[in-house]
Amino acid sequence: MAAYVLYGSEVSLFSGKARAYLRWRGADFEERLATRDVYQNVILPKVGWPVIPVVEMADGALVQDTTDIIETIEARTPDGPRAIPTGPVQQVVSRLLDLFGDEWLVIPAMHYRWNYNEDWIYGEFGRTSAPDAPPTEQYAIGKKNGERFKGAVPMLGVNADTIPGVEAAYEAFLKDMTEHLRYHAYVLGDRPSLGDFALNGPLYAHLLRDPESGRLMEKLAPKVADYVRRVQAGGTDGGDLVADDAVPQTLEPILSRQMTEQMPTLVKTAALFGEWASSASAGADVPRGLGKIDFETGGFEGDCAARTFPLWRLQAVTDAIDAMDDGAKARLADLLDRVGGAPLMDFRLPARLVRRDCRLKLA
């Protein structure tokens, strides 16, 4: 029996992230397709809500969040390779890219899937949910299951007014990532780390694998498409991270876009979270959304849901900053100043978050 069981699917953004990590680490795992039966008999009884990926540990414990999966495996088997860098500046940058990949690249990932690949993805959802059903029944099942995902697209701020900005920002990311890959095989050097796995989720499962967006990536950024395939395959290339806890200069345009576009939404969401937390009790479940906020991407303005889960990823970033010594903080401050992120050195959430029972709660 394998040491780990990954419940997921090829169409799932976060399954792509978890699978790439497990392959890279050489973990003894098997992947089981998240069919209707798996949801009914494994995921809903043990997790409480329909979500993938979920990884079952050797002792039967289920871990749901992808970064939690990575951290849990590395805590339980400390002798293996480490996705989270030990260098303090590289660790913060990895966690920033974890935040960016999981919670910002999801915007173009969902846009291209549902505005360019909708009919195709219904069939994929159906084949995942009911692999033995005939194609017409699979499509009907996939369309029913897909409606809730399609409904999330407007909540991400994707609409007729913002689509040009979403596409412009994504294409700019592809250009910047292509330039970075001219000098480095992965985000922090010549082996993968946490940031690579986080980027791989949206870039593989949606933006490369879905047909129309896949053709776009192959056309505009073939180096990125090759990188995505390498990370998903779990390759190591025999290299290491950049020496001396350094961060490649070619990564700075991507970090700059994160600070310009994503960080303002996090600050606005944190303010709403603080208002909610001021009258909530410790241990309370945190709402998944806290109303609407303004945002900008690719030069176009709109509004989107104030999603709270990104604050959990942001708290991991600021916790890593707090754990630094003065020398590392000075080096990080120089980097953040260059990319327009200097306020992050002092920004902290108005209240702390914890995750228990696969849910985000007020500490």
Which residue type is seen at 240?
Answer: D
Q: What's the pLDDT at 128?
A: 87
pLDDT, tens only, 69-121: 999 999 999 888 899 999 999 999 999 999 999 999 999 999 999 999 999 99
pLDDT at 169: 98
> Has residue 81 been placed in a domain?
no
In angstroms, the Cα distances linking 302 to 104, 214, 244, 295, 307 are 15, 26, 41, 6, 15
User: For the chain, what is the domain count?
Assistant: 4
Work out whether the CA dihedral 251, 236, 329, 296 comes out positive or negative: positive
**Residue 96's domain is classified under what CATH number?**
1.20.1050.10
Structural domain includes residue 83? no
CA 343 vs. chain centroid, Å, equals: 23
Asked whether residue 92 falls in the same domain as residue 241, the answer is: yes
Q: Answer yes or no: is 277 within a domain.
A: yes
**Residue 340 covered by a domain:** yes
CA distance 323 to 321: 5
- Of 42-46, 190-194, 226-230, give the lowest mean pLDDT range: 42-46
Residues 99 and 69 in one domain: no
Residue of 267, 309, 270, 305 lying closest to 286 (CA atoms): 309
Assess whether 305 and 261 both reside in one domain.
yes
> Does position 237 have pLDDT exceeding 80, yes or no?
no
Residue 24's domain comprises 4-76
* Contacts of residue 148, Cβ cutoff 8 Å, sequence gap at least 6: none
Burial, 283: exposed, middle or buried (Cβ in 10 Å; 0-12, 13-18, 19+)?
A: exposed
Residues 98 and 231 in one domain: yes
> What per-residue string of b and e applies to 327-343 under the rule 16 or more CB within 10 Å gives b?
ebbebbbebbeebbbee
Question: What is the reported pLDDT for 139?
Answer: 85
User: What's the sign of the alpha-carbon dihedral 115, 119, 123, 129?
Assistant: positive
Q: Please check whether residue 286 is in contact with residue 361, taking contact to mean a CB–CB distance below 8 angstroms.
A: yes
Task: Examine the domain organization and report whether 98 and 224 are in the same domain.
Answer: yes
pLDDT tens per residue across span 117-137: 999 999 999 888 888 898 889
Alpha-carbon distances, residue 159 vs 123, 153, 162, 300, 336 (angstroms): 24, 8, 5, 11, 31
Q: Which residue, of 98, 133, 156, is where some domain finishes?
A: 156
In this structure, are residues 186 and 207 in contact, taking their beta carbons and an 8 Å threshold?
A: no
Q: Are residues 227 and 125 in the same domain?
A: no
What residues form DSSP beta bridges with 186? 189
Q: Is 329 helix (H, G, I), strand (E, B) or coil?
A: helix
73 and 173 Cβ atoms separated by less than 8 Å: no
Residue 172 pLDDT: 98
Determine the pLDDT at residue 231.
97
Q: What percent of the chain has pLDDT over 90?
A: 86
Task: Please state at what angle helix 13-25 crosses helix 222-233, rounded to 10 degrees.
Answer: 60
Q: Are residues 228 and 140 in the same domain?
A: no
Q: Give the residue from 225, 248, 271 where a domain finishes.
A: 248
148 plus 162 within the same structural domain = no
